[in-house]
Amino acid sequence: MTPEKEPEVTRPPEDRPELRDIPADWPVDETFTRFTGHKTSVRTDRVRMPDGTVAARDYLVHPGSVAVVALDDEDRVTVIRQYRHPVRRELWEVPAGLLDVPGENPLHAAQRELYEEAHVKADDWRVLTDLYPSPGGTDEAVRIFLARGLSDADGDRYAVGEEEAHMLHARVPLAELVRAGLAGELQNSFLLLGVLAVTVARSGDGLDALRPADAPWPARPFG
């Protein structure tokens, strides 16, 4: 009888670099601003590669964003449905917005967005994850927060206009959002990454082990 073969175990190579994104700044021979808008602009950089060749790179210059997965005591997430003209869709999303003030504390921005878009405040804040949503085409950096201990915000609702005046509001069970996302029924990246990150964090060290709300953010340093 042939002895059963031991399964092969795949191990990372000992010389693999540390699994961490690292700062890098390749030389830029020339830079041009092609368009300047209200909040963003389009830039072309002529970047010198390590072998000496030069390539043009076009990208959107963006101030950065914050988003909030607001989770209540019944395991429901605060979501909104908003019209997004570039994709011609009304998308279910979590509250989110731009870092309007350079150097602004992202927690303060997230608290503001949760109030303005959902009229909700939270007692407990954690950093859920940080990301570059499309690093080949924009320098936008995003911090997604987890907010718990929810209650109605004080005072009147924030006055909104344009697309925001037509938003729908709901609280949807986390598990339902995960299912709809994996089925391709929901496509907003902040919502998808946020609810999946909550699910993964729970299966690991738990939500209380997430980074504190004031954790450093090298992509958008703040005071």
* Span 21-50, pLDDT tens digits: 999 999 999 999 999 999 999 999 999 999
| CA 12/CA 91 separation, integer angstroms | 40
Contact 148, 68 (CB under 8 A): no
Q: What are the start-end ranges of the H helices in 56-143?
A: 106-118
For residue 4, indicate whether it is catalytic.
Answer: no
The pLDDT assigned to 161 comes to: 59
| CA 52/CA 49 separation, integer angstroms | 5
Contact 71, 149 (CB under 8 A): no
Annotated catalytic residue: which of 90, 116, 164, 176? 164
| pLDDT tens per residue across span 62-97 | 999 999 999 999 999 999 999 999 999 999 999 999
| pLDDT tens per residue across span 119-140 | 999 999 999 999 999 999 999 9
Contact 92, 83 (CB under 8 A): no
3-state secondary structure of 57: strand
